[in-house]
Structure 1
Amino acid sequence: MDFRQLERFLAVVDHGGFHRAAEVLYVAQPSLSQSIKQLERELGEALFHRAGRGVVLTEAGRELVGPARAAVHALGLAVESVGAVRGLRSGRLEITAMPSQAIAPLAGVISRFTAYYPGVRVVVRAGATADQVVEAVRTGRTELGLLAGVRLADRPGVGLHPVARQRFVVVAPAAGPFRTGARVGPADLSGLRVIAGQTGTGMRAVVDELIESGAGLTIAVETEHREAILPMVLAGSGIAVLTESWREISERSGAVVADLDPPFHLEVAYASHADGLGPAARAFLQLATDREGRSVG
């Protein structure tokens, strides 16, 4: 059993099949299949059941996932530590981020990081909810995550590093009931239709809290595609509750942005793997927390 076999096994797990895993790894599918067959022969157990074009883990396969991630993570740290003597002139850093946080604060930190370390490739993966981001970091799929929530509790297996606090705002069409800069309370939202994010996102938590507090809001649209919310607002499908990071682009697009009163806030934090970080991830996290807040946890 070698590192490459485990890496390929995890790629099949994470991408749900051999075809997509081969594309991601840039290897021929027969080569990937042969690596998995060799691993199964060495272990004496089948790791996957074939199900149409996809695969399902066997019991033995499920048992291997955790140790395989730990082994790949540990070896990756070792390789990166050796490479650190070159002053981070090369390497790869993977980060899983929620969509809004990928705009701010992540984009700004990446810009500064790549200016310092132009030889390190930064790969940003998508996590729709805080739970998805934490799971990606905890299981070793990525070293760092960027997540947000109305309340951020401690998560087993990861360290949290708060970096920002963003205020929620109401985004409405120009022909809507508010003017830019107005202060909007729950009573002002009565009878309005809202475009909401999926359960597990900060924006959805605020909408749910407003409804529970007596605001007469009706969820007209629920979407996982955050980039579609502003166009739907502009088209008149409803209002939206978004973070302050959307203010500038919303106003430039012709929408009206009003402040919630009383305010709701989104807590933003980086998540790191509990077993340690490689040099590139450490440098990135140091840059992010030095600039935007104090690292804790």
Structure 2
Amino acid sequence: MEPSGGQRMERRQLEYFVAIVEHGGFTAAARALRVAQPSLSRAVGNLERDLGVTLFHRVGRRAVPSAAGEALAERARLVLRDLQALRAAARALGEGPVGRVDVAATSSSGLQPVVGIVAELRERHPGVTVSVSSAASAAEVVAMVAQGRCEAGVCGSAARPTGHGLTAHYLRDEEFLLVSPPGTGPAGGGTVRPEELRGMRFVTTGPNTAVRDLFERLSATVGELTVAAEVADRGIVLPMVLEGVGAALMPDGWAGLARRAGAAVHRFAPPERIAQWLVHRGGPLTSAGQAFVDTTLARTADRAPGAE
């Protein structure tokens, strides 16, 4: 897709274009960017003329990307990321890592290790700000990074995330736990065997999540597991458990909070685990993005078995 007539595609045009895609219309994008809507419309109109294609279809008050617009949106995000990386690299020569890094994370990974990484990053590089976007699944994390919506991502996946020009680093094995209402759950200490779940009611997340996949596997193996409630927002799983709606399968990052809230927490015997990964683009990162990646990998190495 080459500009016609020798015109140059400007960074501001790409920023305006991506904002319209992200916000679903010119009015919302102008408000988010704090620019006049006529200026936004003029810049995008110039971009459409330069490229010789229609980038948006107007449907009511919404601006829906055309096929060409959808193709350009992904590339535009990556171009803007690269430009940001170049500017940040130049500033970092004199100031150290500065700026903002956008990170995608599933809810369990957002709790741990991302919370710990942000705290450590704050100590090492106070000029770096982390913005965390929630994702429902590992596939969504990968898509958000591949499309340039986020610079890095943390997620749990049984297989190493591959493709899209991404680099994946193994971080640790995340362990799933049984969390049940106060005073309930299997007897016999802090461990539970899968067959002891038979007849229990569960609060679970929706399809295509690691927790739901584990529930379905245990249900097929053990039988007589009932879904008491299915939620999209994982943040309300623990409150539902505490209210007695049912038990839940939760990643180990929630263990401390669950215990402090009074829930009963059991480990599985044998343990139920899934690999946790850091993913990022294989190309240049912003100084903030590189600081996030370096801090994550250093933190993982410090906590590896046998590390002093």
TM-score computed with the length of structure 2 as normaliser: 0.88
* Structure 1 residues 95 and 18: alpha-carbon distance in aligned structure 2, compared to 1, 3 A threshold: same
Please name the residue that 2:300 is paired with: 292
Deviation at 1:5, TM superposition (A): 0.9
Who is 1:149 aligned against?
157
Q: Distance in 2 between matches of 1:153 and 1:81?
A: 27
Structure 1 residues 156 and 42: alpha-carbon distance in aligned structure 2, compared to 1, 3 A threshold? closer
Distance 1:31 1:127, change over 3 A: farther
Q: Which stretch of the first structure deviates more once superposed, 242-251 or 11-20?
A: 11-20
Q: Distance in 2 between matches of 1:13 and 1:80?
A: 25
Unaligned runs of 5+ in 1: none
How far apart, CA to CA, are the structure 2 residues paired with 1:104 and 1:180?
28
d(CA) in 2 for partners of 1:65 and 1:19?
18
Corresponding letter in the other structure for 2:165? G
Task: Quote how far apart the aligned CAs of 1:180 are.
Answer: 8.3
Change (3 A) 1:198 1:26: farther
Q: Is the contact made by 1:162 and 1:293 (CA closer than 8 Å) also made in structure 2? A: no
**Hey, what's the Cα distance between the residues in 1 that align with 2:124 and 2:60?**
47
How far the C-alpha of 1:80 sits from its partner, in A, is 1.7
Map 1:1-297; keep pairs closer than 5 Å.
1-88=9-96, 90-179=98-187, 181-293=189-301
The farther-off stretch of 60-69 and 6-15 is 60-69
1:236-255 deviations in Å (ceiling 9; x for gaps): 11110001111111111111
Is the Cα contact below 8 Å between 2:156 and 2:174 reproduced in 1? no
Once residues 164 and 220 of structure 2 are traced to their aligned partners in structure 1, the CA distance between those partners, rounded to angstroms, is: 30
Deviates more, 1:225-234 or 1:33-42: 33-42
1:199 and 1:168 map into 2 onto residues whose CA distance is 17
Please report how far the alpha carbon of residue 226 of structure 1 lies from its aligned counterpart in structure 2 after TM superposition: 0.7
Secondary structure of the equivalent of 1:162?
strand
2:141–2:153: 8 Å Cα contact kept in structure 1?
A: yes
Who is 2:6 aligned against? none
* Greater CA drift, 72-81 or 235-244: 72-81
RMSD between superposed Cα atoms in Å: 2.0
CA separation of 1:253/1:157 partners in 2, compared to 1, >3 Å: closer, same or farther? same
Structure 2 counterpart of 1:105, one-letter code: P
The alpha-carbon distance between structure 1 residues 107 and 19, as it changes in their structure 2 partners (threshold 3 A), is: farther
Structure 2 vs 1, CA of residues 213 and 276 (structure 1 numbering), >3 Å: closer, same or farther? Answer: farther
Seen in structure 2, the aligned counterparts of structure 1 residues 215 and 259 have a Cα distance that, compared at 3 Å, is farther
Aligned-pair identity (%): 34
Q: Is the 1:162–1:267 Cα contact (8 Å) retained in structure 2?
A: yes
Report the Cα offset of residue 9 of structure 1: 1.0
Tell me, which stretches of 5 or more residues in structure 2 are unaligned? 1-8, 303-308
CA–CA separation in structure 2 for the residues paired with 1:138 and 1:14: 16
Which residue type is aligned with residue 22 of structure 1? A
Residue 69 of structure 1 contacts residue 140 of structure 1 at CA under 8 Å; is this kept in 2?
yes
> Aligned partners of 1:114, 1:159: CA distance in 2, in Å?
24
Report if the CA contact (8 A) 2:202-2:225 is conserved: yes
AA of the residue aligned to 1:74: D
Distance 1:63 1:227, change over 3 A: closer
Q: Which secondary structure state, in structure 2, belongs to the residue aligned with residue 258 of structure 1?
A: strand
The letter of the residue matching 1:59 is A
Q: Secondary structure at the match of 2:154?
A: strand
Aligned with 1:265: secondary structure? strand
- Distance in 1, matches of 2:27 and 2:16, equals 12
Give the number of equivalent residue pairs. 294
On the 8 A contact 1:193/1:217 being kept in 2, the answer is: yes
Q: Give yes or no for contact 1:181–1:257 (8 Å, CA) kept in 2.
A: no
Contact conserved, 1:178 with 1:256, CA < 8 A, in 2?
no
| Residues 178/26 of structure 1: CA separation in 2 closer, same or farther (3 Å cut) | farther
Residues 1:95 and 1:25: Cα distance change in structure 2 (over 3 Å): farther
- SS, match of residue 222 in structure 2: coil
Structure 1 residues 179 and 52: alpha-carbon distance in aligned structure 2, compared to 1, 3 A threshold: farther
Cα deviation digits, residues 229-282 of structure 1 (max 9, x gap): 001011111110001111111111111111112221122111111223222211
